[in-house]
Amino acid sequence: MPISQSLDIKRVAILFAGGPAPGANAVISTAAFSFLEEGAQVFGIKHGYSRLAEYTAAGPLTEGEDYIRFTHDTLTNARTSRGIMIGTARTNPGKHVSSPEHLKDPELVAPLRRVYEGLCSLEIDALISIGGDDTLKTANKIKMFQDNLPPGARKFPVIHLPKTIDNDYSGIDFTFGFFTAVETLAEEIRNLNYDAAAGRAYFLCEAMGRSAGWLAYGCAIAGEASMVLSVEDIQGGLAEEEVVNGKTRKVMAMDRVIDRMVDMMLAREQEGRQYGTIVIAEGLAEFLPSKYLEGITRDDHGHINISLVNLSAMMSQLVAARYTERTGKTRKVNGLQMGYEARCAPPQAYDVMLGASLGVGAYRALVEEKLNGVMVSVSGQFNLHYVPFEELVDPKTLVTKVRFIEPGCDFHRLARFLETCVDS
């Protein structure tokens, strides 16, 4: 574990970054409440790193506009509320830092320095970071930036709380918001099943999940979808290699992927069902052959802009065309993107309890355990664990490790068992 240090935390900052997730306010409010109960001042940094990354040029931070001071009144009934009480943003102050050596380059670390100086202007004694894997990378870089400061410089510990409805985090079994998001999307799929049956049609639903298929699989199982495919399934006959600019990358074998969906449709027809729903994870877009990605840009984190791909619309057209080609008949296949409607849904009890546990875990990590550079994790009977950043982030590339669904695990097998059987 990281080396303990003597802490006297009187002022703590809480920051949320990345996409929303149900249960966010349970995390924020419980962390704030824990410190308020001890007489500390708690600052909520508004809209992620967006203002901090411009700290020097934009001048001093303004209370109310750039941050709020939490009080017991502001936390009343917040634990089960929707949205994010301090807002969020995707600003990435560490985007130019991709190795430890970069931390010694004044120009590359300039945004991190501005974040550090902005937080120091509030005289904080600790930072609680809440967010996904990209936010974890930023938290690690802020810690490492401070590790490189000269002796005597102000330093504050950084604790990270994992957030993503995608549930693809290493170091924790389930992330807050996942089950609420699954249920929200599953209810949509259940509704679509009746719509599809009424019109003898299909819906091809694209669920959020850039790196792994947890959300797609979860809502497919709970929503009784006919088939689910995610990045973990692009292997064997569904994968092939493509060489672009001298580099080899794994891509979807598009013909075989589309044929697998049509095979399922034909199998259902043999059972007397001329309708159904297919769920795919948006992360499959990363495995599209290059001809489908022409003109698609990438964001600050190097990800393709999936919103510009519209995978569900593209694949629904391919499935409908292949169905006609193979049968001589037509079948309407409707493409539909899902996910945004789930991110601020009313949090279920499990996500509230999990979020509250993480919020208290931040307090315990800082005050009781006196830790720095750890992610709070929960397992078993909501038992708290503290995972060092070094176990979650590659020390050379400073990239986090994605937790995929393991092909062949019981969760993966459950989806295969419940969906319409297709001979491989």
Supply the angle between the helices 133-147 and 110-121 in degrees, to the nearest 10.
Answer: 80
Band the pLDDT of 301: cuts 50, 70, 90: low
Per-residue pLDDT tens digits for 19-57: 999 999 999 999 999 999 999 999 999 999 999 999 987
pLDDT at residue 2 tops 50: no
pLDDT at residue 237 tops 50: yes
Band the pLDDT of 232: cuts 50, 70, 90: very high
φ, ψ of residue 398 in degrees (nearest 5): 60, 25
| The predicted structure's pLDDT at residue 138 | 96
Measure the CA–CA gap between 90 and 16, rounded to whole angstroms.
10
pLDDT at residue 423 tops 80: no
| The predicted structure's pLDDT at residue 313 | 93
The predicted model gives 230-242 an average pLDDT of: 93
Measured between alpha carbons, how far is residue 42 from residues 24, 141, 365 in Å?
17, 23, 16
Q: Which CATH class is domain 180-344+406-418?
A: alpha beta
Band the pLDDT of 299: cuts 50, 70, 90: low
Measure the CA–CA gap between 394 and 332, rounded to whole angstroms.
46
Measured between alpha carbons, how far is residue 330 from residues 95, 315, 323 in Å?
48, 16, 7
Q: Which residues contact 33 (CB under 8 A, 6 or more apart)?
A: 72, 75, 359
Per-residue pLDDT tens digits for 180-207: 999 999 999 999 999 999 999 999 999 9
> CATH 3.40.50.450 spans which residues of the chain?
11-175+347-391
| The predicted structure's pLDDT at residue 209 | 84
pLDDT at residue 309 tops 90: no
Fold of 11-175+347-391: Rossmann fold (3.40.50)
Band the pLDDT of 306: cuts 50, 70, 90: confident
> CATH 3.40.50.460 spans which residues of the chain?
180-344+406-418
